[in-house]
Chains A and B, each alone.
Chain A
Amino acid sequence: MRADAAHLPGDIPEGLIEPSLTVGKVTPGSLDDQVLAFPETRPPKQWYIGLAITLTALFIGLGFIGYTFVTGIGVWGNNSPVFWAFDIINFVFWVGIGHAGTLISAILFLFRKRWRNAIARFAEAMTIFAVMCAVIFPLIHVGRPWVAFWLFPYPNQRALWTNFRSPLLWDVFAVNTYFSVSLMFWYLGLIPDIASMRDRTTSKLRKTIYTVLALGWRGAASHWQHYEKAYLLLAGLATGLVLSVHSVVSFDFATSVVPGWHMTIFPPYFVAGAIFAGFSMVVIVLVVVRETMQLKNLITMRHLDVMNKVILAMSCIMGYSYMMEGFTAWYSMNEYLHHGFMNIITGTYGWAGWLTISCNIFIPQILWFKKARASYFWMIFVAIGVTIGMWFERFVIIVISLHQDYLPSAWRIYKPTMTDFGILLGTFGLFFTLVLIFARVLPVIATTEVKAILPDAQPSHHGDDAHV
């Protein structure tokens, strides 16, 4: 952070000078008071109402998961040939949501996009929560969840080993790695802030907890030196993961022989889709956080504008991918592929295909307008649309491809059950419960990182002395 605080050359044209990333007068002290104070105050009534709603959803989901455990996954709508449905749709959906966080915190960090500093913490927290939602599904979707641990290559007296040729196994590794690296990265960034909170708090209990969590951080120069190194290394690791995790998830499909799955475009297409969905979710949550937690001066309209631009860019990539799918189906002259593509736009589930295309391609085009990018209504509209669209994209890929594959005799319609919807609701409950709790107990903005990008954080030629 401080390493990149290079001296700006004296005569930079006005347009190239990065405008301030905060609004109004923000000093390091005021920043601490603003951000680190939240855990010290009582949550408002709305927070409790929100938590009650999300917890209800969570427990509904848990109830349905329990029902599934006791009875078997026959309580879902899955059938032959649609052996995977909501389970894997939800898994891919949630893993995808997670991607924005890592992208913001790691890739944008490496690219020195300083605007990321204000939102990285929250986005990364969302990553962790989304991955937590995602990992539920591989566990509960197997026929015999009590032996799901067999998916790990652990030494055992029966000399049984896993099949390293199976993409599902790669998934296990990819998601586990992703989750652990994300957690470490997130926690590492939290340490200086937790230390600040430790030093600020008057409550004995909090002090104890923060003391433990701060791992003895004193803010010494040597601490900072190690911290920066570790942060940079983890950012490098996480960067690779942003690309690898969803690529590996896409291998589940791309390496199979199912028409509509077996495509080389899947890895980049999945990664773009994940970033797309993730950014949309971040926009939704950040707008709420910005308004309810009075963080307008730190999470500025400029942040939202930049994120909306990313969403727009991803939407265009998605559009290209969809077109490529159609082109491949036509150009390959593969009748199965052709049938699969026609199914998306004209089949029984054609409505899902068109919903996906509309939500992911058509609606986000509104973001070409600066006004739309600056309007809560439009950005939330687009973001919710993308969230729905991306969920249905996975529905299209999984259900439509499976329900009519090679032998017409085996084709069958898929219908989800209450349990399918209940579990999906439950994961939303889990996600937002964790988001709500996070917002109240930990600093939602990385104060140390934002301090570095305050207008007067760097020595400048305008004569102001930097006071760090």
Chain B
Amino acid sequence: MKTRLPEHGPLETPQYWRTLEERLETPEAQRAAHDEFLPGAAPGTFDDVHGLPPSQSGFSRRDFLGLVSATAALAATVACDRKGQGTVVPYTRRPVEVVPGVANYYASAFQEGRRVYPVLVKTREGRPIHLTGNDEHPGVKGKTSPRTMADVLRLYDPDRLRAPKAGGRTLGWAEAESQLHAVLTGAKATGKPVLLISGAVVSPTRKALLADLKAALPTLEHLAFEPAAGDAAEEAAKASYGQAVDLQPRLAKAKVILSLGADFLNGEDPESLAAWGAKRRLKNAHEAINRLWVLEGPLTLTGTNADQRVPVAPSRLGAVAFALAKELSTKAVSLPAGADLSAIAVGVPQGVDIPAETWSNLVKDLQHAGRNAVVLCGAQMPAEVHQAAHLLNAMLGSEAVAVRAAEPLATVKDLEGAVQGMAAGHYAALIFWDVNPAYAFPRAAAWQEAVAKVPFRAWIGQVEDETAAQCQVLLPENHWLENWGDFTTEHAEVLQQPTIGTLYDTRQGEDVFLGVIRALGGHAPASYHVYLQGRWQQTLPLGTTFEQALHDGLVTSESKAATPAFKGASVAAAAQHAAASKSEGLELVLFPGFATHDGRHANNSWLQETPDPITKMTWDNPVSVSVQDAKALGIQEGDFVTLSLEGATLRLPAVIQPGQAKGVITLALGYGRTTGGVAKGVGANAYPFMGLDPTRANVRGGARLAKAGGKKDLSRTQSHHRMEGRDIVRSLTMDEFAHNPKGHYHMPELVSLYEDQTFPDHKWGMVIDLAACVGCSACVVACQSENNVPVVGPEQVARGREMHWIRIDRYYEGELENPKVVHQPMLCQHCDNAPCENVCPVNATNHSPDGLNQMAYNRCVGTRYCGNNCPYKVRRFNFLEYTAYKTEPEILVNNPEVTVRPRGVMEKCSFCVQRINDVKIRAKGDGRAILDGEVTTACMAGCPSDAIVFGDLKDPKSKVAQLVNASRAYRVLEEVGAKPAITYLADLKNPAVEGGPHAS
């Protein structure tokens, strides 16, 4: 190394120096003299060629060596083609509860409207990632609804409000609360009313808290607003029982079920689905089966599962139901005291197309089943239909429905009253708690005007919505997975506990109100947790602790709610109303969206992309038109139409819905939101069509439909709806099941030139009972959550690139006006002779020794040949990069046990191999064999009707091994010779046959 020394005069005494800096006596050098390994304390001579001071050139020998080693390190890492995915660091201080790599499970509960879902929350490294039903709960028994399962995604919604806000400015809680407290203190002093609008109150402790709040602030008015609950049901309950009620079907006790537009099989009610499944998973034709009669206007999921379905417009349903009551009353089924049906004629009402034979069968069925019959009415149906259903249940003495007193909900009439109060300057303040009336109130303009007249508006919620836009103070609320709470259900008192510390500076709404009580001079504990625990300590049964209750998530107790008595006197008016009810023009039925419900789930992309079980639409709410009306109006699938009703007009795409009653059009609520990164602009808002008469708010006559020109490329996951006569879904009547269970299908013996594969230890297989499967799509959401299935958006779905590993195929058969409908879950069949495996040029997909068709994502080049060669078309290709650009918080929902797939890679159902291996490892650790039923796939665990059974086919005693030999068993496309590992059990229908057995 060449060194040029600075000019220096001769030194008198020899001075030895180590570095030039030391020689020049810079402060750094003096420090370095004492600290040999000071960072950067290398001799600066290396760079003297440039004549720069070393500190400026910054190129030291250490840097040089660093570069050399960096080169080596780069060379070593160059073989890995994945880009850096962040740093993996161990915990510096590990929380006691968290063991890396081990999942924790917490019991909690989710509330949606009046319905409560006790859940078990799976957390990994402190993050809730997957929800299932609470297996300890005697009602739901480990099952839950698709929307509940998907709600874990809402915890990580990037749109969540992360800190309080006022006037568009982020501020601290103290400041935000002080604004609220000041207004409420003022209101208390002046005696001006304060209006609190919240969702349904099902929680006893929340109810108590609201009572305490009312005590502290006597001018408080409270409305529980649930726009999708069905105002008509509320009104009918008040009429029939004199109070609000909650109806819970107990289908286990039902032999005959009559649905009047009730969609109790749509996945919302896991208890009903479980009972349904139990009655349908028949081993032989001698086992008892129930019979489902459906009279409805729209085609609902329940209607598709009916044994006998008759399309009837909702406006005529009341007349039909009362006629049934009248007919039954003539057949020794006595009317309740005071019930007067003189307005009703005997027989099928005029203008309703029910064949006489069908009618008499229905009457006989109900009559014979007696207390084992139940009549269920859809929440959206007009009030008189509900009243007729209440009457019929009372007449039959039905044991298959539990009627319990409930907290009343505000109907549209109550809200209309509030709007008038607001407009009149009645209120000092408005508090919105987890509700969005600015979006869901039918008269949006009037609402906006009225709200603006209230001097102070506060909003408590998670994602800024249409209502938040009108409020001065926004208080960010926890997601329920960060909350404390409790709920009353029929069989148990259920607890909600946080499963993660709050992600942001949020609080739960109850804590805000406790603060209000304290600010108003009342007594309240420091937190809702303490408040809740205090209440629970008083009511806990002996021998139970609060900790035990939290562990279980519940304390079993039979509901203490009173069973209200049916009021016979209410019948006469309703019957008159029903007899007179007619509909002019087209009848618009507004029902909550399958995915979005009342709009609260609209920002959840998992749900937006879950296909509607009937229309198979995603990301949209097209208007469904009956086949007859579509023909008359010249409407084709996907055509834009103008829907208008009393001044409200929308331009929407139309889909033609087979099975929908003539003259009925349906539209889903919960779309057309104007806020939220996902929800904004998806579909159209149907709330302006809602009526202001609560007895028939969701069924509106006089709608007009006209072609608007243009066509939409529908984001639909299924575009062909006929089976083309192929042997894909087998469906048997009970008669066929008894006499000819293999049906007319003949499968010749399949011979192969090659030896069969052998499976030394296990051979995983699945059986799907199509008789129990209703098509609710819970499995789809469960799989999405378990396997990090990406969401692709409406444009990609329209292009045919949805990624769901399991889909529900829905086929129509027979006449278009009232077709037979079948559902079939379709997922990777894990074929023994998988056609996808031998065509992969790089062996990325191959067979495991335990019968799994596995994908090595890292090896996949993306030729897509496997996708072509899959007869079931269950392979999914990452056409674009769907995952890599995601950041926190979105990625926190990912299951760490499942690889996130990059662009250009094929993927598909893995039979939840991570769960299989988890059990395998556990069993090996315990030194035992795997038990039957120990391995559950996400779809199986999520299936509320237990239609899916998974297990080891090598174990002759396993449930799955026994079911594959059942008389209803068959394999789809067996003739292709792929030897699928999934066996389907033929669907069963139990139609009434003349002279055949009636339930008794």
Any A–B CB pair closer than 8 Å: yes
Interface residues of A (CB under 8 A from B): 71-75, 77-84, 141-148, 150-151, 160-163, 165-169, 172, 252, 255-258, 335, 339, 402, 404-413
Contacting residue for A411 out of B719, B799, B863, B905, CB 8 A:
B719
CB-based contact B868/A81 at 8 Å: yes
Q: Enumerate chain B residues within 8 angstroms of A335, measured Cβ to Cβ.
A: 724-726
Chain A residue with minimal CB distance to B722? Answer: A408
Contacting residue for A258 out of B720, B728, B826, B869, CB 8 A:
B869
Compute how far the CA of A279 lies from the CA of B359 in the bound complex, rounded to whole angstroms: 73
Contacting residue for A409 out of B811, B875, B879, B905, CB 8 A:
B811
CB-based contact A143/B728 at 8 Å: no
Q: Give 19 new A-B contacts, CB below 8 A, not counting A143-B864, A256-B839.
A: A72-B878, A72-B879, A80-B800, A80-B875, A82-B800, A142-B862, A143-B861, A143-B863, A143-B878, A144-B862, A144-B903, A160-B843, A166-B841, A257-B869, A257-B871, A258-B869, A339-B724, A407-B809, A411-B720
Chain B residue with minimal CB distance to A143? Answer: B862
Compute how far the CA of A93 lies from the CA of B863 in the bound complex, rounded to whole angstroms: 18
CB contact list, B830-887 vs A, under 8 A? 835, 838-843, 859-865, 867-869, 871-873, 875-881
Query: Nearest Cβ distance between residue B24 and chain A, in whole angstroms?
Result: 52
Q: Enumerate chain B residues within 8 angstroms of A172, measured Cβ to Cβ.
A: 841
12 pairs across A/B with beta carbons < 8 Å?
A72-B879, A74-B903, A80-B876, A83-B864, A83-B867, A147-B81, A150-B859, A163-B842, A168-B863, A406-B973, A407-B728, A410-B872
Asked if A256 meets B880 with Cβ closer than 8 Å, knowing A163-B842, A407-B871, A413-B719, the reply is no
Contacting residue for B843 out of A77, A163, A255, A405, CB 8 A:
A163
CB-based contact A148/B861 at 8 Å: yes
CB-based contact B865/A74 at 8 Å: no
Compute how far the CA of A148 lies from the CA of B721 in the bound complex, rounded to whole angstroms: 38
CB-based contact B841/A79 at 8 Å: no
Contacting residue for A169 out of B728, B841, B881, B978, CB 8 A:
B841
The yes or no answer to B796 lying at the interface (CB within 8 A) is yes
Compute how far the CA of A160 lies from the CA of B863 in the bound complex, rounded to whole angstroms: 17
CB-based contact B868/A84 at 8 Å: yes
Compute how far the CA of A80 lies from the CA of B864 in the bound complex, rounded to whole angstroms: 10
Chain B residue with minimal CB distance to A414? Answer: B800
Q: Enumerate chain B residues within 8 angstroms of A413, measured Cβ to Cβ.
A: 719
CB-based contact B861/A150 at 8 Å: yes
Query: Nearest Cβ distance between residue B81 and chain A, in whole angstroms?
Result: 7
Q: Mark B799-843, 1 if CB is under 8 A from A, else 0.
A: 111000001011100000000000010100000000100111111
Q: Enumerate chain B residues within 8 angstroms of A163, measured Cβ to Cβ.
A: 838, 840-843
CB-based contact A83/B877 at 8 Å: yes
CB-based contact B841/A80 at 8 Å: no
Query: Nearest Cβ distance between residue A299 and chain B, in whole angstroms?
Result: 41
Query: Nearest Cβ distance between residue A353 and chain B, in whole angstroms?
Result: 19
Chain A residue with minimal CB distance to B871? Answer: A406
The yes or no answer to B898 lying at the interface (CB within 8 A) is no
Chain A residue with minimal CB distance to B904? Answer: A143
CB-based contact B873/A80 at 8 Å: yes
Contacting residue for B865 out of A146, A148, A168, A410, CB 8 A:
A168
Q: Enumerate chain B residues within 8 angstroms of A168, measured Cβ to Cβ.
A: 839-841, 863, 865
Chain B residue with minimal CB distance to A401? Answer: B868
The yes or no answer to B723 lying at the interface (CB within 8 A) is yes
Chain B residue with minimal CB distance to A412? Answer: B800
CB-based contact A83/B861 at 8 Å: no
CB-based contact B720/A408 at 8 Å: yes
Q: Enumerate chain B residues within 8 angstroms of A162, measured Cβ to Cβ.
A: 841-843
CB-based contact A83/B880 at 8 Å: no
CB-based contact B799/A77 at 8 Å: yes
CB-based contact A257/B864 at 8 Å: no
Contacting residue for A71 out of B718, B880, B972, CB 8 A:
B880
CB-based contact A78/B879 at 8 Å: yes
CB-based contact A257/B873 at 8 Å: no
Chain A residue with minimal CB distance to B726? Answer: A335
Q: Enumerate chain A residues within 8 angstroms of B728, measured Cβ to Cβ.
A: 407-408
Compute how far the CA of A176 lies from the CA of B917 in the bound complex, rounded to whole angstroms: 42
CB-based contact A143/B877 at 8 Å: yes
Compute how far the CA of A411 lies from the CA of B723 in the bound complex, rounded to whole angstroms: 11
Q: Enumerate chain A residues within 8 angstroms of B881, measured Cβ to Cβ.
A: 72
Q: Enumerate chain A residues within 8 angstroms of B835, measured Cβ to Cβ.
A: 256-257
CB-based contact B720/A147 at 8 Å: no
Contacting residue for B796 out of A74, A147, A151, CB 8 A:
A74
Compute how far the CA of A143 lies from the CA of B865 in the bound complex, rounded to whole angstroms: 11
Chain A residue with minimal CB distance to B838? Answer: A165
Compute how far the CA of A84 lies from the CA of B859 in the bound complex, rounded to whole angstroms: 20
Compute how far the CA of A109 lies from the CA of B852 in the bound complex, rounded to whole angstroms: 53
CB contact list, B669-704 vs A, under 8 A? none
Q: Enumerate chain B residues within 8 angstroms of A169, measured Cβ to Cβ.
A: 841
Query: Nearest Cβ distance between residue B655 and chain A, in whole angstroms?
Result: 16
The yes or no answer to B976 lying at the interface (CB within 8 A) is yes
Asked if A81 meets B873 with Cβ closer than 8 Å, knowing A257-B835, A409-B826, the reply is yes
Chain B residue with minimal CB distance to A73? Answer: B879
Asked if A80 meets B877 with Cβ closer than 8 Å, knowing A72-B904, A144-B904, A162-B841, the reply is yes
Query: Nearest Cβ distance between residue A408 and chain B, in whole angstroms?
Result: 4
Query: Nearest Cβ distance between residue B325 and chain A, in whole angstroms?
Result: 41
Q: Enumerate chain B residues within 8 angstroms of A83, measured Cβ to Cβ.
A: 864-865, 867-868, 877
Q: Enumerate chain B residues within 8 angstroms of A82, measured Cβ to Cβ.
A: 800
Query: Nearest Cβ distance between residue B895 and chain A, in whole angstroms?
Result: 23
Query: Nearest Cβ distance between residue B739 and chain A, in whole angstroms?
Result: 26
The yes or no answer to B906 lying at the interface (CB within 8 A) is yes
Chain A residue with minimal CB distance to B801? Answer: A79
Compute how far the CA of A248 lies from the CA of B840 in the bound complex, rounded to whole angstroms: 16
Compute how far the CA of A77 lies from the CA of B713 in the bound complex, rounded to whole angstroms: 14
Asked if A150 meets B873 with Cβ closer than 8 Å, knowing A72-B904, A144-B861, A166-B865, the reply is no
Compute how far the CA of A84 lies from the CA of B879 in the bound complex, rounded to whole angstroms: 12
Compute how far the CA of A439 lies from the CA of B821 in the bound complex, rounded to whole angstroms: 65
Query: Nearest Cβ distance between residue A253 and chain B, in whole angstroms?
Result: 9
Q: Enumerate chain B residues within 8 angstroms of A405, measured Cβ to Cβ.
A: 871, 873
CB-based contact B864/A409 at 8 Å: no
Query: Nearest Cβ distance between residue A313 and chain B, in whole angstroms?
Result: 32
Query: Nearest Cβ distance between residue A288 and chain B, in whole angstroms?
Result: 37
Q: Enumerate chain A residues within 8 angstroms of B724, measured Cβ to Cβ.
A: 335, 339, 408
CB-based contact A151/B861 at 8 Å: yes
CB-based contact B867/A80 at 8 Å: yes
Compute how far the CA of A79 lies from the CA of B867 in the bound complex, rounded to whole angstroms: 10
Query: Nearest Cβ distance between residue A81 and chain B, in whole angstroms?
Result: 5
Query: Nearest Cβ distance between residue B616 and chain A, in whole angstroms?
Result: 9
Asked if A143 meets B905 with Cβ closer than 8 Å, knowing A77-B799, A78-B879, A257-B835, the reply is yes
Compute how far the CA of A150 lies from the CA of B800 in the bound complex, rounded to whole angstroms: 28
Q: Enumerate chain A residues within 8 angstroms of B718, measured Cβ to Cβ.
A: 409-410
Query: Nearest Cβ distance between residue B874 and chain A, in whole angstroms?
Result: 8
Q: Enumerate chain A residues within 8 angstroms of B973, measured Cβ to Cβ.
A: 406-407
Asked if A167 meets B839 with Cβ closer than 8 Å, knowing A142-B863, A410-B873, the reply is yes
CB-based contact A257/B725 at 8 Å: no
Query: Nearest Cβ distance between residue A417 and chain B, in whole angstroms?
Result: 9
Chain A residue with minimal CB distance to B846? Answer: A163
CB-based contact A256/B826 at 8 Å: no
Q: Enumerate chain A residues within 8 angstroms of B725, measured Cβ to Cβ.
A: 335
Query: Nearest Cβ distance between residue A260 and chain B, in whole angstroms?
Result: 11
Chain B residue with minimal CB distance to A147? Answer: B861
Q: Enumerate chain A residues within 8 angstroms of B867, measured Cβ to Cβ.
A: 80-81, 83
